[in-house]
Amino acid sequence: MSYKDKLDKKNLPQHVAIIMDGNGRWAKGIGKLRIFGHQNGVSAVREAMEGCVEIGVKYLTLYAFSSENWKRPKLEVQALMELLVNTLAKETQTFMANGIRLNTIGSISDLPKNCQEKLRESMELTKNNNACVLTLALSYGSRTEIVEATKSIVRQVVEGKLNITDINEKTISDNLFTSDLPDPDLMIRTSGELRISNYLLYQMAYTEFCFLEKMWPEFKREDLFEAIYHYQQRERRFGKTSEQL
């Protein structure tokens, strides 16, 4: 029996965030160049997207390229940018067929111009889709995001648009890159690494974590369903006791 059949459709995570890790190590393990792993990781992205739509998860956020990833070898970064453009062009049909709206977070202005243009094209084309919001975290780092949110709030105070005594948790959330997204309910990381790598630090205060041993190119929608099944077995108390729930 598939884990999909075991899921409680009334207790699905609204938002799943994924750290797509292990592309390079998977490729090296079979004697290929790292970019071969990134290329094969595209099919796993499709599995995650279509799996979310299939069961009704409304938000999927993928850590596609961190702000620290710019430190990687120049040829690998260039190949990743080219892969992003080519993938967006090829996957447009998948977005439309599944009702997926494309969204981005991060320092998008750091990306090459052709990447920015292709992202804008895809977001414009899919803007009316409402089955699932796919957010790509690109040139993204959560500490930078928090710094930028802080600057934005300070500007509002200086300009007299915000009283310092009115600043609260919602103020911070409203000034993050993810202001139009709910906080993640479930975070999945592949490759066996047990860290969150500067990803959605503020947003994941009460997120449930799932760490998988398999590398990202090996990820299938059944892995998504299994992670959600185990998520549903957990008791999310948000500071309360079990008796209060």
- Which amino acid makes up residue 55? I
Average pLDDT of span 199-228 = 98
User: What are phi and psi for residue 7, nearest 5 degrees?
Assistant: -75, 145
Mean confidence (pLDDT) of the chain: 95
User: What's the one-letter identity of residue 180?
Assistant: D
What tens digit of pLDDT does each residue of 94-105 get?
Answer: 999 999 999 999
Q: Residue 243 pLDDT > 80, yes or no?
A: no
pLDDT higher than 80, residue 147 = yes
The yes-or-no answer on residue 40 being catalytic is no
Question: Residue 126 pLDDT > 80, yes or no?
Answer: yes
Q: Looking at the predicted structure, is the pLDDT value of residue 240 above 80?
A: no
First-to-last CA distance in the chain?
A: 31
Quote the pLDDT of residue 229: 98
**20 and 44 Cβ atoms separated by less than 8 Å:** yes
pLDDT higher than 90, residue 169: yes
Kindly tell me the sign of the dihedral angle through the C-alpha atoms of 135, 138, 144, 148. negative
Count, residues in the chain: 245
Which token pair is 82?
Answer: 């080219």
Please identify which residue in the block is written with the tokens 């500490």. Answer: 143
Catalytic residue from among 8, 11, 21, 86: 21
Q: Tell me what pLDDT residue 235 has.
A: 84
Q: What percent of the chain has pLDDT over 70?
A: 99
Backbone angles phi, psi at 19, to 5 degrees: -100, 110
pLDDT tens for 10-60 read: 999 999 999 999 999 999 999 999 999 999 999 999 999 999 999 999 999
Q: Does the pLDDT of residue 239 top 80, yes or no?
A: no
Q: Which of 67-71, 126-130, 192-196, 237-241 has the lowest mean pLDDT?
A: 237-241
Clarify whether 174 is annotated catalytic.
no
pLDDT band with cut points at 50, 70 and 90 for residue 244: low
Question: Is residue 58 within 8 Å of residue 14, measured between CB atoms?
Answer: yes
CA-to-CA separations, 96 to 17, 56, 91, 93, 101, in angstroms, rounded = 21, 16, 9, 5, 8
Please state which of the four CATH numbers 3.40.50.620, 3.40.50.300, 3.40.1180.10, 3.30.750.24 is assigned to the domain occupying 11-141+183-231.
3.40.1180.10
Catalytic residue among 69, 129, 174, 183: 69
**In which residue are the tokens 């260039």 written?**
78
For 52-92, the pLDDT digits (tens) are 999 999 999 999 999 999 999 999 999 999 999 999 989 98
